[in-house]
Structure 1
Amino acid sequence: MKPGRVILMGAGPGDPDLLTRKAVRALLSADVLLLDELVPPDIAELAPRARVLRVGKRGGCRSTPQPFIQRLMRRYALQGRTVVRVKGGEALMFGRAGEEIAFLEAAGIEVELINGISAGMAAAAALGISLTHRNHCHGVSFVTAHTQDGAQPDWQALARSRTTLVIYMGMQRIEQVQAGLLAHLPASTPAAVVQWASTPRETRLATRLGQLADDARGAGLGSPAIILVGDAIGLARAHAAPAMRHSA
């Protein structure tokens, strides 16, 4: 039997209007749909003939093991099916896509990649700012708050880069993120947190690095959220409403 294919697709940060036309076509073609934890469940309505499997992975929660997900994709693809692996945000940003591509290609399976809007970009849009404002920074750095072995990033190097920092998966260790950056940046450095960017549950907080953890905890903010730090974030103050909880 001729092998099928696997499509690794970014579903964006949560607003279904941010799905690309190419992503919608991929969903319509799916025989098997593997949905990440942060993908809205109703996205399955765009894949009417697909078998839907939820393979959630979420920091601090019970998650579907990565090797099991990879074996699922291989199994169904070798049966000649079109498998669409739907990831929240951008498929190639902190989503283990590299591991999956290598695993599937080693099995002789065709892999197609479809980009989505990253949560970091959606957070910037929510704040009404440019992450690369040339009057305030030299660029932008996308970083995860912890490496595979649990170590912290090189905060000193990141601080010296004079880039806007867009930090993923940092809410559970926001105090360590703050402390690591305060060792190299002034407490007055603008900072922000955006939770559930682009969705009806979106909550925004504009603050300073010195108050980042206290303000975020006091506002009840948690995962999934993006932490942003840098002078360009100071332009968000006119756009970011005080953080508040939305009723269910």
Structure 2
Amino acid sequence: MHSGKLTVVGAGPGDLDLITLKGIKALQSADVVLFDALVDSGLLEYASKAEHIFVGKRKGCYHYQQEQINDLIIERAFQGSHVVRLKGGDPFVFGRGAEEMEYAAKHGVEVAVVPGISSSVSVPASQNIPVTKRGAAESFWVITGTTKEHKLSNDVALAAKSNATVVILMGMSKLGEIMNLFKKEGKQDTPVAIIQNGTTENEKVGIGTVASIEHKAKEQQLANPAIIIIGEVVNHRQNILDIQKEYQTRGKELLEKV
């Protein structure tokens, strides 16, 4: 084994406070941090003594191709550095953390992973949308909207046939195609939420149905990075708002009587 090390760290969904303590400790011990576009740069303050290298992509513009990232990991690890690969969400949920670990291990580099809070469940939760709820959803699918061939995953059509909550990442460019699959299953009235930049100060939320969400998305100019949630659980968000409003109204009425 070489003296260097690779630790793949999940940064969480966007909110700085949603990285794990173990992730912070990994950053504090890093010599080099390779970070993605969806990572808040504020997290780099935990790695103040490390070299910071941006290796993400923005709007299709790649600063490094995946092969170059792999080579960079090996190069720095061979120099004896602790390389932290900081990735948004959880590195094993539609990230390429597993591939990078395999590549490093094949070159004799010690590897480790620090799981992150996945945006697939935490972003809906931040808007009071549970992915499962008794009586509404017994299971949930998490599907990539775009495969490596840049096509819509066949799993979306399968998910549309189920009663499960369907969470789709990286799917905004194929929103119409996705909704058409659900329409074919007679689910025009199924609730849909789109959450852009979830858990951050730039968060935007669009709520509609399978039939109306495309219009809502255009109206509110929703785009990637966003998560699409399809299922009855979306209604929980409004239920909570209604309950809170009712109690606030009751509270005011009681105070007026005092």
TM-score w.r.t. the length of structure 2 is: 0.88
Alignment correspondent of 1:244: none
* SS of residue paired to 1:216: helix
Alignment correspondent of 1:119: 119
- CA shift digits 1:173-231 (9 cap, x unpaired): 21222223222241100100111111111111221011111111110111111000012
Asked if 1:197 corresponds to 2:198, the answer is yes
Alignment correspondent of 1:71: 71
Partner AA of 1:100 in structure 2: E
- CA shift digits 1:126-162 (9 cap, x unpaired): 2212211121122111100121112322233112232
Alignment correspondent of 1:164: 165
Contact 1:3 1:77 in 2 (8 A): yes
Alignment correspondent of 2:14: 14
Provide the aligned C-alpha RMSD in A: 1.8
Alpha-carbon distance between aligned partners in 2 of 1:85 and 1:60, rounded to the nearest angstrom: 20
Moved more, 117-126 or 21-30: 117-126
Contact 1:145 1:152 in 2 (8 A): yes
Moved more, 152-161 or 87-96: 152-161
List alignment gaps of at least 5 residues for structure 1: 241-248
Partner AA of 2:192 in structure 1: A
Contact 1:27 1:47 in 2 (8 A): yes
Alpha-carbon distance between aligned partners in 2 of 1:158 and 1:97, rounded to the nearest angstrom: 26
Alignment correspondent of 1:245: none
* SS of residue paired to 1:166: strand
Call closer, same or farther: CA 1:62–1:2 in 2, change over 3 Å: closer
Alignment correspondent of 1:243: none
- CA shift digits 1:50-104 (9 cap, x unpaired): 0100001346334521111111011111111100000011111111122112111
TM-score w.r.t. the length of structure 1 is: 0.91
Partner AA of 2:85 in structure 1: R
Q: Percent identity between the aligned chains?
A: 34
Moved more, 140-149 or 177-186: 177-186
Alpha-carbon distance between aligned partners in 2 of 1:57 and 1:74, rounded to the nearest angstrom: 20
**TM-fit CA distance, 1:3:** 2.5
Contact 2:57 2:63 in 1 (8 A): yes
* SS of residue paired to 1:210: coil
Contact 1:11 1:19 in 2 (8 A): yes
List alignment gaps of at least 5 residues for structure 2: 242-258
* Bigger Rg, which one: 2
**TM-fit CA distance, 1:20:** 0.9
Asked if 1:105 corresponds to 2:86, the answer is no
Alignment correspondent of 2:213: 212
Partner AA of 1:85 in structure 2: R
Alignment map for 1:39-188 (pairs within 5 Å): 39-58=39-58, 60-154=60-154, 155-188=156-189
Contact 1:32 1:53 in 2 (8 A): yes
**Higher-helix-fraction structure:** 2
